[in-house]
Amino acid sequence: MNPKYNELFTPFTFKNGIELKNRLVMAPMTNFSSNPDGTVTDAEVDYYAHRSKGVSMVITACTYVTPNGKGFPNEFAADSDDMIPSLSKLAKGIQAEGAKAILQIFHGGKMCPPDLVPEGDVVSASNVPAGEGATVPRPLEEKEADDIIKAFGETTRRAIEAGYDGIEIHGANGYLIQQFFSPHSNQRNDRFGGSLEKRMAFPLAIVDEIERVVAEHADDSFIVGYRFSPEEPEENGITMTETLALVDMLADKQLDYLHVSLMDFFSKARRGVENIERSRIDYLLETIDNRVPLMGVGSIYTAEDARKALDTGVPLLALGRGIIIEPNWVQKVAEGKEDEIATEIDKSKQKELVVPDPLWNAIMNAPGWFPGV
């Protein structure tokens, strides 16, 4: 291995004492490949297992905590105890190849297609649709919001019983947790909305409930992470300043890591901070001030991309599209073959890349999403 990449392969130890063999993680990405009943397919397990050999940890695609939280066709379910055997099958497939298995849990809120949720009842913090022509969601009543908070806890218990090494709370990418935090989509005037502090109440309550469940049902080795998006494009959407306020609160929780969702790791803040020439990562690291590890992600395709990203001070890196394009990314760097890493998807190698048909079709039909398409 080229010595300049040594740091990518240094072990990392969480505050709970669990050690990762390197700094490289598989990012959570929807794959549309589960059975209609919400159980995991063999093709899905094979896809993850094929990418679990080099990375230290795999964060699964998001799974929904309540029936009205299903955000994607053929998304795997975690909303009932009946799903524990299915969830366990996926965890074992990842762990058998030497990686930690982290279950990402979420509720899609207003992003859920009406045909995927019971009676087409799409819910959110307020009646603000996801976009022009989208379904207008029904605002959740306070009790319903409390029930969803409890459902996040119940799904965490299922992850523990299914043998996962941890869970990641999906508070990013415009889904329900972010909808409650966003001044654009949250126009409530109860304890879950209004001021910045009240808009933080729902995400922080979910963290507290999950930490309570972990303390009751798991030991200290169970990992809990939280994923967030730094900004929203809407004029009255989340600003970098508001995100830094939330991150400041999250850094004082008993979380094992925070995970910023970025399309470009080195992207600059859009607004709400003094210097928009500074990267979002810089602002986040400054606010966190070593209280909790920050995981970064976003268009890391080459070993040099990863080295530069780690040089910012972020201790963990997630590979998303890069590890779909090149399942042996980590092994090639370790073997000194970083020049052989594919950075564009080879349209003739679906079988060799072990990508399920639904995900492959989604990639092929979305020009610009993946390099080479």
Average pLDDT for the chain: 97
Query: Which pLDDT does position 260 carry in this prediction?
Result: 98
C-alpha closest to that of 210 among 174, 160, 247? 160
d(CA 47, CA 51): 7
pLDDT at 104 over 90: yes
Q: How far apart are CA 17 and CA 11, in angstroms?
A: 12
Q: How confident is the model at residue 30 (pLDDT cuts 50, 70, 90)?
A: very high
Say yes or no to pLDDT of 276 above 90.
Answer: no
pLDDT band (50, 70, 90) for residue 126: very high
Cα–Cα dist 164/89, whole Å: 10
pLDDT tens track for 138-195 = 999 999 999 999 999 999 999 999 999 999 999 999 999 999 999 999 999 999 999 9
Residue 253 φ then ψ, to 5°? -80, 180
Is the confidence at residue 273, as pLDDT, over 90? no
Split at pLDDT 50, 70, 90, the class of 275 is confident
In this prediction, residue 100 carries a pLDDT of 98
Is 48 annotated in the active site? no
Which pLDDT does position 170 carry in this prediction?
98
CA–CA gap between residue 360 and residue 372 (Å, rounded): 13
pLDDT score recorded for residue 272? 80
Is the per-residue pLDDT at 351 higher than 90?
yes
Mean pLDDT of 70-98: 98
Residues 107-118 have a mean pLDDT of: 98
pLDDT (0 to 100) of residue 235:
86
The whole-number pLDDT of residue 111 equals: 98
Q: Does domain 3-364 have CATH number 3.90.1200.10?
A: no
* Catalytic residue from among 48, 175, 226, 283: 175
Instruction: Look at the pTM and tell me if it is higher than 0.75.
Output: yes
Q: What local confidence, expressed as pLDDT, does residue 66 receive? A: 98
Q: How much is the pLDDT for 299?
A: 94
User: What is the domain partition of the chain in residue ranges?
Assistant: 3-364
Per DSSP, 81 falls in state G
Percent with pLDDT over 90 in the chain: 98
